[in-house]
Structure 1
Amino acid sequence: MKVLTFGWDFPPSRNGGLGVACYGLTRELTQNGVEVIFVLPRRQDVVGNARFVFADQARNVSVREVSSFLQPYHQAESQVHYIESFDADGRPIIKSRTIIEEAHRFAHQASLIAQEETFDIIHAHDWTSYLAGIAAKRASGKPLILHVHATSYDQAASQNVDPGIFKIECEGFAAADKVVTVSQFTKNIIVEKHGVPADKVEVVHNGCDTTEPVRYEPSLSALRSQNKKIVLYHGRITIQKGVDYFIKAARRVIDVDPDVVFVISGWGDMTNQIINQVGEMGLSKHVIFAGALWEEERDRMYQTADLVVMPSVSEPFGLVPLEAMQHGTPSLISRQSGAAEVLTHVLKVDFWDIDQMANKILSALRYPVMRQQMVNEGKRELQKMSWHDAATKMFKLYRNLLQYLTS
């Protein structure tokens, strides 16, 4: 079986959970005999066994490469910068396009690629690739699966969605032969808000790596030597992620126990707002902004923390608590998340209930036996949530869809 896959992000590019999920699924599908042709909008370093096609390179007829500097999680009118060409002295000529324009450009290339490649089915990840998937289906007549990792409602964390993204979502869901969501939480959104028939949507929860990770020397050794407790937030700093609620809860925790330190690892358009909020709430001595941590630095921080908090306002899934558990650290997660559907041995709270969030943080920090029990039981639970299991579900979906359409 050959699958033409479109995605916007893939490791070792460091953007977020979308790339991690694409890698985990693709790795396990290829190991189980599926031939994956993974199309990305621009040339980048990649890892894994799939065959990669770069849309900017494959159709580029000039001697110089024309690359786009793209990241997922933008709004429709966000400006992205790219090298259009080079002047006589070899200096790059920088131009700008909106992310919507980039998505349409990707779709044009996808149509051409689909006419050149041989494949059985199309799989497009996230809204930035939906138009590419539609174009490939129109060019080839092959069935299309759209994989919803987040919706415009998640990004807005409200009803005030981006109309450009919403339009693409609706067009994509109508054109798809099947829609996959990463949680029942997300399925409910697209059924209720986008009007997608429920029987058209399949839930395939994200997975995680289940092997025991490398152990590192802890970070923040000076704070640990002072018996400080470490509470970690790791993720994008955006309205969707609820970091402002996390800071409000931190104020209540510090009022009870001033020996707690909150670490924020991440980047996003609310970074300056959160920095200002920390200052205004008198928390500057209790909050550390660590920047975006990846790979060994991220894993070291997971292993250092006493508790990881995922306070998301609207989280389609949320890989952070799975990663934290893998590294031996328990989590407190928002009930407004897909991960809350599959994780039992975590603490859960409504994102807006900052008093309850603070109380659960304090309880977890006070009772190390409880934390260890959560980790022990949680690691057993993780064994049932591997990327292999998620890929097995995807393969069955591919097979069933092909059998249905050819019967």
Structure 2
Amino acid sequence: MRLLAPGPFTGTRDSFSRYVDALTGMSDGATLVWLAPFAPPPSIGAQYALVLPTSGSTGAPKAVAHTLSTLRASQTATAEALGGHGAWLPFLPPTHIAGVQVVARALRTAEERGLTDPHGALGPLPDLGASFTARTVLEAMEQWVAPDGPLFTSFVPTQLERLLRDPDRAVLEQLRRFSAILVGGAATPAALLRQGRDLGLRLVTTYGSSETAGGCVYSARPLPGVDLSLDDEGRLVITAPCVARGYLSDEGELSAFESVPSTAGGAAGVRRFVTSDLADLGADGTLSIRGRADHVIITGGAKVNPVEVEQAICQHPSAAAALVTSVPDDEWGQKVVALVVPAEPAHPGGADVERPGPELLRETVPDAVRAARLGSASVPKITLVVDDLPMLAPGKVDRVRAADLARRLIRE
């Protein structure tokens, strides 16, 4: 098997095309695509098809090793959940699992349908080197001579928010062509989902990771073949054929995920992945993520779930986005700090309205958390107003940089 590292992704169409060519070889079983955050080791097993990074949202990214069978298991489950293999229009960088699988699903569709062109179910490659706007979507859709059958695409919440901030009729008409629009990479605000669905968009929220070959839970329900459970600490455990082999070290050694023996009639090659996400499972099997076990803040002896606090803050109309972190404190051990992005004001009648100022947010943020009845320990001691939250490439907030930013702003 040939090992191929496509090199840096610049966002240009040429760069995108280079990645598509590499992923085509991967889907054919001829190429190991190396996207990991370190150079390939001198010796690596021929069983792998893709080695790529975790998001790195809480620290240094790890290298996740997938086989072609784990990737195809995810593609099969996705097709079953969405009503069949369809054509895909890519708007996510192919450097992380979500963007990789958009391309790989399109290649799989061409294979399943027997298309002579292996890229026949993949839409035009957009220019992601510039800022993502409605024009990015319009240009791609206007160029796309899509095959018959369902059409799909995938966005991170930030992209969807930009498209719906001031929705253009032409953009909405194009977005309504999709049988499903996957939205993942980070938690999607409920208000944004309501807005999109009210406008006629078929939005499907996804939960998953590099370790699960992308989304394995769609709109709170596990994909076919995916089993969800909770360990004794309340962490989500995913058992599925799409779970990766494990983590690769820079020397090529595999820290394997637990293999689950197949039962009579069950799928072979199933593995178990213990996430760092605290979760609840409803009686009907629906999934609700409460936050990460490694994000819990202990302040004055009380445990605070920052995700729950962020959700409470974002329920208030003055806050567009929020991230809750902590700083060391002699009295409390850790002091709860909220980084808040003010909401863009409405413009009734074309009148200019100012964004909520720091003083207003310092009042509304504690009130919003108290209203959510999360306990007094969850009320931020400090509210910092920022223009944007630190972000990672897959659309997730960068909590490491956010904590550094909070400490720096407090010192200033």
Give the structure-1-normalised TM-score.
Answer: 0.29
Task: Looking at secondary structure, tell me which structure has more strand per residue.
Answer: 2
Task: Looking at secondary structure, tell me which structure has more helix per residue.
Answer: 1
Give the structure-2-normalised TM-score.
Answer: 0.28
